[in-house]
Structure 1
Amino acid sequence: MSYITHPRKNIRLPYYNYASEGIYFITICTRHREPFFGNITDQRLILNDAGKILKETWLDIPNRFPFVSIHDFIIMPNHFHAIIETDHTTSIRLGDIVGAFKSITTNQYINGIRHKNWKPFEKRLWQRNYYEHIIRSEKSYQTLSQYIQNNPLSWKEDIFYI
């Protein structure tokens, strides 16, 4: 049997140095948009234990990567939005930071499945890629920050709502 592989389309900006100083908006989704991290009740986010671990892990990112500052973020039942800032040029790219976060949280989640009876996932916790947007203006920053803050309020209209 022969398998045809399709090359993945690169969604990153060509020639942009993702290890350079910058402010980024990122979105990471669970595989198949499975709701693993809590729920929205009366337009309020209620994190479960997995969501609380995710929050602790994100808040710890600046300890792991001292050149990173975290700004607004929101953990939703099946995805995560954040604004992240890198303060100087480094050899570590934005994708390395996101990859470390996904890896750490996947291992923590597997531990929760084994020891705390968390809902199992199929193959991977997170979808393979992530979305990023380079924030280049104060207006863009304010719009995205407000989007993050209001995300639970518009959950039923959200593109990630299941």
Structure 2
Amino acid sequence: MTKYNPDKHHRRSIRLPYYDYREDGVYLFTAVTHHREELFGRIYDGQMWLSTFGNMVLEEWRRIPEHRPYVQLDAFVVMPNHVHGIIVINHATVESNRRDVGAERALPLNDRGAQHAAPQPNPPQQSGKRNFGDMRPGSLSVIIRAFKSAATKRINAYRNTPGAVVWQRNFWERVVRDDDEWNQYRFYIDTNPERWASDRENPQAR
């Protein structure tokens, strides 16, 4: 998992009303496999053991900034049939670098440092289901679609199933509004394998 660095990931308060998902900000997302098929590995003793396909998904996640330098990766977990991740979108840093201007001047900053919120084991309330309607360059939808597409191509090439569906078409997203939420969602992601038995995406959950 890529750890958050306050000197690298410049934070600001995120506006919710009429939010433009191409704007700089911090986003939590969840993407689930087609029919919730458990392709990516298994949970043993509260730990996730990745399959070959799960490792492909993790590798494609880590490659996102190679193709999109305005994206910074935060917490991420591959589960048996879904992934949770936090993405930081920061176009302003890229533009500042092009102008040889310090990235610290690109955004209004919050220099307080991360607040250590009380851990919240409950799943975050998702704000909405996205169906890739916003396909403008740099938007959250474009980033997630490309990530899922890259993983799908590798998985299907490996198992010789060209064109097979790997993911559900939609994904869930939420704007991370402040430091407290950010830390709560990190905790939720980091400890997600421990709660697989009761996970809402687990077909065997009771």
Evaluate the alpha carbon distance shift between residue 123 and residue 107 of structure 1 in structure 2; reply closer, same or farther with a 3 A threshold: closer
Equivalent of 1:144 in 173, 182, 185: 185
Q: Aligned pair 1:73/2:73, yes or no? A: no
Size of the aligned set, in residue pairs, is 145
| Percent identity for Structure 1 against Structure 2 | 36
TM-score normalised by length of structure 1: 0.84
Tell me by how many angstroms 1:106 deviates. 0.7
Alpha-carbon RMSD across the aligned residues, in angstroms, is 1.9
1:27-38 matches, within 5 Å, as 27-38=30-41
How many Å separate the matches in 1 of 2:81 and 2:162? 12
1:91-110 matches, within 5 Å, as 91-110=137-156
How many Å separate the matches in 1 of 2:162 and 2:32? 13
What amino acid maps onto 1:131 in structure 2? W
Of stretches 86-95 and 70-79 in structure 1, the one that deviates more from structure 2 is 86-95
Q: Aligned pair 1:133/2:179, yes or no? A: no
1:34-73 matches, within 5 Å, as 34-73=37-76
1:71 match: secondary structure = strand
1:60 match: secondary structure = helix
Q: Aligned pair 1:87/2:93, yes or no? A: no
Tell me by how many angstroms 1:91 deviates. 3.8
How many Å separate the matches in 1 of 2:144 and 2:90? 16
Tell me by how many angstroms 1:144 deviates. 0.5
Tell me by how many angstroms 1:78 deviates. 0.1
Number of the residue aligned with 1:3: none
Structure 1 segments unaligned to the other structure (5+ residues): 1-12, 115-119
How many Å separate the matches in 2 of 1:97 and 1:134? 15
Number of the residue aligned with 1:111: 157
Deviations 1:52-89 (A, max 9, x none): 11111100101111000000000001000000000126
Structure 2 segments unaligned to the other structure (5+ residues): 1-15, 93-135
Number of the residue aligned with 1:161: 202
Verify the 8 A CA contact 2:156 2:163 in the aligned structure 1: no
TM-score normalised by length of structure 2: 0.67
More helix by share: 1
How many Å separate the matches in 1 of 2:147 and 2:178? 26
What amino acid maps onto 1:28 in structure 2? A
Equivalent of 1:17 in 13, 16, 20: 20
